[in-house]
Amino acid sequence: MKKAEKAQNLYRHLEWAYPDAKCGLEYQDPWQLLVATILSAQCTDKRVNLVTVGLFAALPDAAAMAAASQEQLEELIRSTGFF
């Protein structure tokens, strides 16, 4: 069996086993999902969802985040356990 076939079989099995699976992270676009996913490595999705409200209000996109000072970013995400 080829890798693609194995992947399809696995995907079908997971769909069957978890038909109502949902992402616990709240996001509006791929950038927010990426950031939230990185933050979720340190804490719960529930905590990330609380933190990202303020984070994305202050720094709504990649350009804003890149322009922010390290201190500002640290303060916004401190409660996730990163700093």
Q: pTM score > 0.75 for this model?
A: yes
pLDDT digits (tens, 9 = 90+) for 33-47: 999 999 999 999 999
24-80: CATH topology is Endonuclease III; domain 1 (1.10.340)
- Tokens of residue 15, six digits: 């769909």
d(C-alpha 64, C-alpha 55), whole Å: 11
pLDDT, position 83: 78
pLDDT digits (tens, 9 = 90+) for 5-39: 999 999 999 999 999 999 999 999 999 999 999 99
pLDDT, position 82: 83
pLDDT, position 76: 97
Residue spans of the domains in the chain: they are 24-80
- Tokens of residue 11, six digits: 């995907």
Reduce the secondary structure of 51-73 to three states and give it as a string: HHHHHHHHCCCHHHHHHCCHHHH
